[in-house]
Amino acid sequence: MKESLKILKIGGNVINDPIALEEFLFHFAQIPSKKILIHGGGKKASEMAEELGLEPKMVNGRRITDLATLEIVTMVYAGLLNKNIVANLQKNQCNAIGLSGADGNCILAHKRVVKEIDYGFAGDVDSIDVKTISALLNSQLTPVFCAITHDKNGQLLNTNADTIASELSIGLSEKYDVELIYCFEKNGVLRDVNDNHSVIEKINKPYFEALKKDRIVAEGMLPKLENCFAALEKGVQKVTIGSPNVFYETKQKCTTLIL
């Protein structure tokens, strides 16, 4: 029987709200099983880009990454946000180690091939170093990955954090029973984005296609759900999307189960 492993991706406004983030990290630190945290931080990166006079460009929920933007996201993701998260986990007696995909050669990617849209220095994941990540987990360390990968030729790449979470879950499912949880400020996938109580409790692939057609699911939620289904199709045991409240709230619906 495989050992259990929880992989959580945290993003959205939870990252930008110090109080919400601190509460999330406290509860994340209490998870008794082996665990990995992946974090985004796009809003903070966009704010810094605007302060430096750069206009963030997004297409279908994904960032266009030119060289100047790559420098900013690397500083924000791999530096400021990653180390603040690690420091907060240490405060909660969770021995965390902050990583990018380049560290330990953990996540190898390639620059996205230009088709209809040139995403610039965006990375698509090629492989996960299961052996290295497992060694960290077996050393009682909790890896905290930011959304930066590399191509093994010295080039850093900006990679969607939801994709990193999915790819890590798929790769590590060879050795572990993996549960993948996407956490953000909403109570799951919502039928009405303005009503946090309109949670869709379960979504399978045909239902997802219908929700997409009706524009109930759109923009940033599209790649998130695509990553969820990719994970399930490739060996991940369980995938959910929801609020950090899932750790301590039992009365209200705060997750969507992906089937």
Residue with tokens 């940033």: 220
Tell me the residue type at 51. E
Identify the pLDDT of residue 252: 59
Give pLDDT tens digits along the chain (259 positions): 899 999 999 988 889 889 989 999 999 999 999 999 999 888 888 888 889 888 888 776 677 899 999 999 999 999 999 999 999 999 999 999 999 999 999 999 999 999 889 999 999 999 999 999 999 999 999 999 999 999 999 999 999 999 999 999 999 999 999 999 999 888 899 999 889 889 999 999 999 999 999 999 887 788 889 989 999 999 999 999 998 877 665 555 778 999 9
Helix axes 221-233, 205-213, angle to 10 degrees: 160
Rounded to an integer, what distance in angstroms lies between the CA atom of residue 101 and that of residue 97?
13
> Which residues are part of a known binding site for substrate?
41-42, 63, 158
Identify the pLDDT of residue 250: 52
Tell me the residue type at 24. F
Residue with tokens 């929880």: 6
Rounded to an integer, what distance in angstroms lies between the CA atom of residue 131 and that of residue 152?
17
**Long-range contacts: 132-141, Cβ < 8 Å, 24+?**
132/104, 132/105, 132/106, 133/36, 133/104, 133/106, 133/168, 133/171, 133/172, 134/172, 134/175, 136/97, 136/104, 137/5, 137/34, 137/36, 140/95, 141/95, 141/96, 141/97
Do the Cβ atoms of 242 and 188 come closer than 8 Å? yes
Residue with tokens 């996407």: 182
| Tally of CA atoms within 13 A in the half-sphere of 146 that contains its CB | 29
| Total-model pTM | 0.93
CA distances from 252 to 79, 203, 245 (A): 35, 18, 9
Following CA atoms 144, 184, 89, 146 in sequence, which dihedral angle do they give, to the nearest 10 degrees? 20
Rounded to an integer, what distance in angstroms lies between the CA atom of residue 259 and that of residue 250?
21
Mind listing the domains of the chain with CATH numbers?
Answer: 3-184 (3.40.1160.10)
Do the Cβ atoms of 204 and 259 come closer than 8 Å? yes
> Which residues are part of a known binding site?
41-42, 63, 158
Q: What backbone phi and psi angles, to 5 degrees, belong to 120?
A: 70, -135
Rounded to an integer, what distance in angstroms lies between the CA atom of residue 97 and that of residue 82?
9
